[in-house]
Chains A and B, each alone.
Chain A
């Protein structure tokens, strides 16, 4: 009996690819609008890296150079990494933890929403905010800090940093599954701020204590910032392949953890 009714409904209910694409687009559009209008999100995620950049890159130190790269250029790479990390972690973890903990995700799961659209929307939104932050940093540097670079380098920098949103979005999904609506922001800050410091996003890497520099080698933001710094001629000349591998490995681990959380929520493990 069930086979018959499934077969019947299957032909009626199958979505066309364009319908599925429309759902993904709308899900992403509204996720973006939701965060854009959320002052807590935009204020912390956008304004912190920009404020830091204006203060430390444009008001102070703007005439100095770090290893041959002017400070305003150098700091686009590091505050860019910092901004991408914040936008991605807060964009995924805080929203997911709140949606999970306060029942909204259940309403969505009870609807015919393709489950993956929900996650894709969060990741895409994080990438868009990441791009906005990098573009804003560059616009400030270009107009006020005399930052100049070949267009190809600028595009590579932008693409690298936006791609760098992925490992942190994955980390955010994992965090979002294992924190509650109230604990998520605190948990994010507890990870995000020390990691930023240890990876040389606030204080240039060579000025960090030796112990911290050794810790940095296992931190994903270190590897993303080194990729970005490499483009502006201020990297530590390690292999780019290694940086990408670390970021990819980290992404896979986080997605694995997020998957455990996802299945736990579906009741497959403990149901």
Chain B
């Protein structure tokens, strides 16, 4: 991977081994808050990578470092082989960031016209409108658009320069299901055109639906990396519910149990595989009753991953989250 960095012809998106962007041992602090800790992360040409994690995990910080909007405290950030603050890099990247307020009195077509003018070879306005599904909204003022439509405008501004590398920071946050699926279709079209995409999301489902590769990030550290199915295999498993006289501590020590939760009169156990755990449970507690085994949902799997970063068998019941809104 490092060797690939040495190659100058980074525009060759056909070669999937080319590294488009990398964080190498990156630390980023905001005062006392450690937003990223020793993060190593690479994006290869032509792939869609999802950076998946709860709010405050450090996803947006990673994106901002790669866009050259902030500097790391230590470590190295490279995009197209050079420092991301390099002005030429910005010609080849497009970014959809989380924005509180976009100038509301400008029309959709005016926003697109302005951003297109920044680039050397922008897409044609009609093409941009079509790619973002905005054909019928070109003359609307931004302030008159719905949430989903606004996200599509930000998406249009990110793609208008026909960039090689697209950053999408929580592109579908706050959207309803329909608007989300619409944007997913547009993102897939970008990948089909050979673009490299870095997507951040806190929806496992979104990463699963779109990404070639997923990096799970929590509390500033990358805790798992792989294809969506690998991530799911690592985490997903079964949920076992039963009423038992065994104590929480004993339940936690059963091999294969990843989490234990008390739920009214019963316990809920998460396990990689159900059978060995159930066998063990019945052996230890003959009076065990109300046994149920279900597949853990994707969201549970994700929670299981992000709730415990130390895999030494003692898994906390209480899941810890970073403070909301910290980026």
Residues of A whose CB lies within 8 Å of any CB of B are: 1-2, 4-6, 8-10, 12-13, 15, 19, 22-23, 26-27, 30, 33-34, 37-38, 98, 101-104, 106-107, 109-113, 181, 267-268, 271
Contacts and interface: CB of A to CB of B under 8 A. Distances in A.
Contacts of A15: 120
Nearest to B71: A271
A109 B161 contact: no
B212 interface: no
Given A111-B90, A112-B87, A103 B97 contact: yes
Given A33-B106, A113-B118, A271-B70, A1 B7 contact: yes
B88 A26 contact: no
B95 interface: yes
A15 B115 CA distance: 15
| Chain B CB within 10 A, most for which of A6, A30, A37, A111 | A111
B114 A26 contact: yes
B92 A107 contact: no
Given A10-B88, A112-B87, 7 more contacts: A13-B91, A26-B113, A34-B105, A104-B100, A106-B99, A110-B95, A111-B115
Interface string B122-165: 00000000000000000001000000000000100100010000
Contacts of A104: 99-103
Given A107-B157, A111-B115, A30 B106 contact: yes
| Chain B CB within 10 A, most for which of A9, A102, A181, A267 | A9
A2 B69 CA distance: 20
A255 B213 CA distance: 46
A267 B70 contact: yes
B8 A103 contact: no
Interface in B186-224: none
26 contacts: A1-B5, A1-B6, A1-B81, A6-B86, A9-B92, A10-B88, A13-B88, A13-B91, A13-B92, A30-B106, A30-B110, A30-B113, A33-B110, A34-B105, A37-B105, A37-B141, A98-B101, A104-B100, A104-B102, A106-B64, A110-B67, A110-B90, A110-B93, A112-B91, A181-B100, A268-B71
For the complex, would chain A's binding face be called helix, strand, loop or mixed by DSSP majority? helix
Nearest to A12: B120
B7 A107 contact: no
A267 B167 CA distance: 20
Contacts of B81: 1-2, 5
Interface of B: 5-10, 64, 67-71, 73, 80-83, 86-95, 97-103, 105-106, 110, 113-115, 117-120, 141, 154, 157, 161, 167
Nearest to B120: A13
Nearest to A25: B117
Nearest to A112: B90
A19 B91 CA distance: 14
Nearest to A15: B120
What 4 pairs across the A-B complex have the smallest Cβ distances? A102-B100, A271-B71, A37-B105, A4-B8
Given A13-B88, A103-B101, A5 B82 contact: yes
A103 to B, nearest CB: 4
A38 B8 CA distance: 48
Nearest to B28: A271
Contacts of B64: 106
A6 B68 CA distance: 16
Nearest to B116: A26
A169 to B, nearest CB: 18
Nearest to A111: B118
B105 A2 contact: no
Contacts of A110: 67-69, 90, 93, 95, 97, 167
Given A1-B6, A5-B82, A8-B8, A102 B117 contact: no
A1 B114 CA distance: 34
A34 B99 CA distance: 18
| Chain B CB within 10 A, most for which of A5, A8, A98, A101 | A5
A216 B100 CA distance: 40
Nearest to B115: A111
B101 A5 contact: no
Contact of A103 (B70, B100, B103, B167): B100
Contacts of A103: 97-101
B86 to A, nearest CB: 7
B69 A6 contact: no
| Chain B CB within 10 A, most for which of A12, A22, A30, A33 | A30
B118 A107 contact: no
